Amino acid sequence: MQRSNDEICIIGLGYIGLPTAAILASRGWSIIGVDINPRHVAAVNRGEVPFVEEGLGSFVAEAVAQGRLRAQATTPKAGVYIIAVPTPFKEEHKVDLRFIDEATDSLIPHLVGGELVILESTSPPGTTEHVRDRVAAALPHLADQIDFAHAPERVLPGRIMVELVTNDRIIGGTTRRAAERTRDIYATFCEADLHLTNARTAELAKLTENSFRDVNFAFANELSLICADLNVDVWELIELANKHPRVNILQPGPGVGGHCIAVDPWFIVSTVPTRSTLIRTAREVNDAKPQWVLEQVHGRLQEHPGAVVAALGLAFKPDIDDLRESPAVSIVDVLARDIAPRELLVCEPNVDQLPASLAGRNIVLVPLEQALAEADVLVVLVDHAEFRAVSPLVVADKHVVDTRGMWRHR
């Protein structure tokens, strides 16, 4: 595809926006990234990445050095806009569209007709139409002259730069023309199949994928509770059950986190609450798991009053620094309050400072060696590579709450 002279503006330089900007720049597009976080803007303009993502650094450094990527705080005029901002939920798990609305409002003054607006943010069905209608209300004379599409990301943190290229992509337009224009842009870097549909179906497809995974995680987490009551090793049970040719049970954990699986199912539930009882129940099972973990820790502390406690891991999955919706963070938050004023040791090898919600309290970020040496009770919340490398013999004399089954043979 021949590149347009128009620049692509990507609003939101987070875990999805910046990789998308970098991969597009690597394919010859001129990219302007916009972010309200001055730290992100400054880092990108230095050719650096403000978070951990395998392989992203070299893409960003090269794109900035060659003048194909730059970042700023305000939205400029562009031919194509990609909105990649967070979509959290608010009371009763209803979507909070504040960031999408702010991004939309920031581009409206620059529209003259002929632009393409792509929403990448994971959203409830109807959100792309909401963006279209918001623009049309502000610029009614351009209502039929601007295209709108939804192209949800389908990537795994830690493998984003690979999966942006190798994973199929679903592209939904409010019109066929919008879907085709979006496909032509994404085809410049995506080597997998690009499936065109309408915007509402594309929105629901992303939510469906993550709800499917959430239901399966809930099954594993509920099994872990059953096995604990029956004194059965849940990891051995799952390993044996998975030897059936048509069974593939996931692994349990301290809950379910991340920017997608812990959030997206609620968008379906809040949109059609009377029809989504299974999805709601799965969310409730997974959301309740951290409390069960806390009960196990308190049981150890009742047996060993005054014991030094160390929590291992804060990220929502192994070997990344992403703490969004992490059950480990919520567990550490409550546990620190419960044992105050005693200090809670925390080891998270992928961050160099505690998140704001945990900072300034009785929580100390420590190296792994210190946690292993000083703690009497170890709470394994994430199976980072550094933790997996520890021999079970090293923790043989510790009181362990292992939510990942990492040291179960110790």
Q: Give the active site residues.
A: 206, 260
- Answer for the pair 238, 249: CB distance below 8 angstroms, yes or no: yes
Cα–Cα distance measured from residue 294 to residue 8, given in angstroms and rounded to the nearest whole number: 47
- Answer for the pair 326, 355: CB distance below 8 angstroms, yes or no: no
